[in-house]
Amino acid sequence: MTTNSFEDERCLAIADNLERIRAALADAAAAAGRSENSVELMAVTKTVPVEYINYSIDRCGVDLIGENKVQEFLQKQPLLHLDGVRKHLIGHLQTNKVRKILPAVDMIQSVDSLHLAQKISDEAAALGVNADILLELNIDAEQTKTGFSEEAFASSLAAFSELPNITVRGLMTVPPLGLPDSELERYFDGIHHRYESLKAQHLPGFDLQILSMGMSGDFALAVKHGSTQVRIGSAIYGARIYH
Ligand SMILES: *Cc1c(COP(=O)(O)O)cnc(C)c1O
């Protein structure tokens, strides 16, 4: 492993935060009657300087990171200590950036259109690989957000099955901002139901193992409602500073 002597107060806060979050995750899993290792922790590293990401990898056991922007990730990538670390893209992806990002990540979580999935399948075919993706679903009809609407999702399922070079590994969601806890629970529960029923369909090209939901402010509720992977940024690294 890389030795990393860099350490400042922010590093210590990151180590503390991770310890606290892992304990809270274990508690939430136990409260839901689930095993501790049924929920994975993704560290969301957007806007975080590489020294701090590397610290969390080298010293705190982070082994799964999520980045939102293709350009930002590709710039940071050569400086990151990524041995044994999985990298997922979790932000909106434009089709013209698929070629660049596909070889650099292990999964694209933010697939929100059939068109994008087709493009990923095409590029994966050109590289001679299979691409693992999650489908981003949004079940709040009143919100205009990223993600498939329920209608678009339902009508695209057969087409996903036909794409030769992708495997759908699960669902991902970002709930609308500012929902009170009761509605947030209903939202997570709704996604969980769709995940389970999709799983039961055993469609070709689908191998569902990941329900990616829950962020800094709501991960315990997400775990209560079946999340298998929480994506946590600010609660680990501190408030984001955008330049
Ligand atoms: C930024 C981001 C997160 C993490 O958000 P925090 O509230 O900082 O934990 C999770 N998922 C997606 C898609 C994000 O863009």
Q: What is the mean pLDDT of residues 38-57?
A: 97
- 43 in contact with ligand 1, CB cutoff 6 A: no
Q: How far, in Å, CA of 92 to CA of 46, rounded?
A: 13
Report how far ligand 1's centroid is from the alpha carbon of 27 (Å).
Answer: 21
| Inter-residue contact 117 to 160 (CB < 8 Å) | yes
| d(CA 231, ligand 1 centre) in Å | 6
**Environment class of 142 (CB within 10 Å of its CB; exposed 0-12, middle 13-18, buried 19+):** exposed
Q: In the 8-state DSSP scheme, what is residue 19?
A: H
Tell which one of 14, 215, 234, 236 to mutate to probe ligand 1, the residue whose CB is within 8 A of the most ligand atoms: 215
pLDDT tens digits, 98-151: 999 999 999 999 999 999 999 999 999 999 999 999 999 999 867 667 899 999
CB atoms under 10 Å from CB of 129, counted, come to 12
Ligand 1 atom nearest to CA at 232: 9
Q: Which CATH class is domain 6-236?
A: alpha beta
Please give the average per-residue pLDDT across 202-225, as a whole number: 98
pLDDT the model gives residue 3 = 53
The answer to whether 117 touches 126, Cβ cutoff 8 Å, is no
Cβ atoms 169, 210 nearer than 8 A: yes
Residue 220 has which token pair?
């315990």
Cα(50)–Cα(210) distance, integer angstroms: 27
**Pocket perturbation via mutation, ligand 1, pick of 14, 20, 44 by most ligand atoms within 8 A of CB:** 44
Q: Measured between alpha carbons, how far is 32 from 207 in angstroms, rounded to an integer?
A: 24
